[in-house]
Structure 1
Amino acid sequence: MKEEIRLRDLIFLIVTNLKAVLLVTFLIMLIAALYLIFLIKPTYRTESLVIVNQMNEDQNTKSRDLSPLAEQVRSDSGLSKIINYLKLDSNKYSINTIRQALSITTEKDAGLISITAKGENPEFAKNLANTVAIEIGKNIEISDRMDLIVSYNKQTLELQDKIKMEESQIQEANQLLQTTPEKLVTKKSLLDDPMLYSIVNNMKNQKTDQSFEMTSEEVNTVFLEIKTKAAEASLELSKLQAQLKSLTDKMVENQKFINEIDKNSSTEENIQKINTNYKAVIFNPAIAPREPISVNKKLIVILSGFFTFIFSITFVFLKEFWKKELIS
C-alpha cells in the first residue's frame, strides 16, 4: 500500500510540475537552436598531401620516420613562418590558433604526409593546408639534398685518393721509361753465326773479315709493358677525373638548389614550380571546400531537450525529498 501511495505521489509530483519542466526544456532547446544557428560559425576543412620519393639509394623511404620533419613545421618558429607567408593578422591568428587549426598525420610505411586544416573561411583552410605542405616538402627536400651532398663529398674524397695513386703510378712509369731503352741493340761477329759466316765466306771476289760485326735491334718488351701500364693508368686517371668533376658539379647544383629553396616563400603560387623541380616530394594540393563540416543540429537540440527534461525531473524529486526531510 505504501509503495502504491509513493508511486501515486511521484506521478502527482510530476504532473504538478510538468508545465515548469516542459517550459524549462523548451527554453533550453530554443537557446541551443539559436546558439547553433546564429553564434556557431561554419567550419571548413580541407586536406593536402605530401608524397615522399626516394632520392638517395641508401635511404628506404617506406621505413623512414617522417614525423620529426613534419612536426618541425608545428613548432613556434615554423608556425611564425606560416603566418608571415600567409600575411595573417597577428591579432586574430596567433601561433596557438594556427596550431589548433592544423592536423598533421604521417604514414611511415607509405611515405605519405597528410595535412588537414580547418577554418571559418574555406580559402583560409585551403591556403593553410597548402602552405604547410610546401613547408614540410621544403624541409624534406633540403634534408635529402644535404644527405646527397654528404654522400657525394665522401665519394669525392675516395676519388681524390685514387687519383693520387694513379698519378703516382704514371709518374713512376714515366721515370722508368726515361731509363729503359725502347729497343735492345745486340752486336754479333761472323764467327758467332756459322750460317752467315759460310755465306760471306763463299762469296766470290770478297775477302772475309772474321772480325766483321753485325748489329741487330729488338723491341724491348719491358719498355712496352711499362708504356702499356702508363697508358692504362692515364686512361683510368681520365675516368676518375671525369667522375670527380661530375660529383663536384652535383654538389654545387644541390647546394645552389638548397639556397634557392630557402629564398622562396612557401606560397600556393609555387606549387606547380615545386612539383616540377623538386625530386624528393610530390604535392597533392588542397582545394577550397564548398560545404562546411556537417553538424547534426537537430540531434544536438533534441539531446539538449532530453537531458534538460531528465535533469528537471530529477531536480523536482530532490526538491520534494529535501522538503520532507526538513519537515521531519
Structure 2
Amino acid sequence: MLAIVVPYYKLTFFEETLKSLAIQTDKRFKVYIGDDASPENPNDLLEKYNGKFEFDYHRFKDNLGGISLVQQWERCVSLSIDEEWLMILGDDDYLDSNVVASFYNNFNDFNSKSNLVRYTSKLIYENLNTVSDLYKHPIWETATDSFYRKFSKESRSSLSEHIFSKQSYLKYGFHNYPLAWNSDDRAWIDFSDKRPIYTINESIVYVRVSSFSITGKRDNLLKKNASEIEFYKFLISRKFKYYRDYQRIEIIKKYGKEIRRYRSLLIYEWLFISYYCVRYFDFDYLKKGFSMTINKLKS
C-alpha cells in the first residue's frame, strides 16, 4: 500500500537513510531506489541491508537530475507498481522508527478525507552540527493555509516529510520549475485537490541541510528567482480566492520583489500586478509601483 521512493545520487549520508528504513517497526512498505547514474556505487551498502526491508534498486543509464530534478523524481516514482500511497525520501534524509507504523495507525482517520499526509520534521544542519526545533502542524489544514505559514516563516515544508496518494499524483504531476524550487509547494496545493492536509505529529522526518545541497551559485540563484516568479504568478492567478486580502497583497508584493531582484518589470508584469492591486484595493502599492516604472523609463 505504501511505496517509499528514494531518488539516489550521493552516498555520503545514504546509509543513515537505509538504516532508518531498516528499523521501521511496521514493515508494510516497499522501497524503490532510482540511481541517477551516480558516480558513487551504492551496491555494497545495499547488500548490507538486503533482507532487512523490501526494496528494488534500478540504475538509470543517464543522469537526469542535473537537467531536471522533477523528471528524475517522476521516473523514480514510475518504478513503483501498485501502491496507492507514495513518499519521496531524499537520499540524505531519514525517518523516525515509527513513521510507517503511524501512517497505518492513522489511516482510517485520513483515508477518503485527504490526499496528502505530512509529518512533523526537524532540520539537520550538517555544517553547524545542530538540529532544529520540532516543526509541528495543525492536524487538519488547507494546502493554501499551509503554504502561507511557510511563506510568512512560521513553518517549513519540503518533499521528504509528505505522503501523497498516487491518484492525485497521476492527476496533477509535479510542475517542472527550475531546479525543482517550489515544485513541492505547487504539488501540495495541486495534490490536495481542495481536500485538507492531514498531519501526523507523533512521528518525525529528519531533513538534512548540508554543503551537498543545491545552494549559493549565482546561476542557481537566478534559476531559483525564475522559479519563484512563475510560482507566485500561479498563486495570484489561480489560488487568490483562498486567501484573505492582506495575504493576497503580501503575495503580490513578493511577486514584484522577485522580479525586481534582477531586472525591471516588463509592461505585462506591471499590468498584471496593477490589476490585482486594484482588485484588492492596495492603491498605495500600485502608486509606488507606477512611480518606479516611470523612473525606470526615464533613466
TM-score range, shorter chain: under 0.3
TM-score normalised by structure 2 residue count: 0.16
Greater strand share, structure number: 2
Structure showing greater radius of gyration is 1
TM-score normalised by structure 1 residue count: 0.15
Greater RCO between the two (CA within 8 Å, min separation 6)? 1
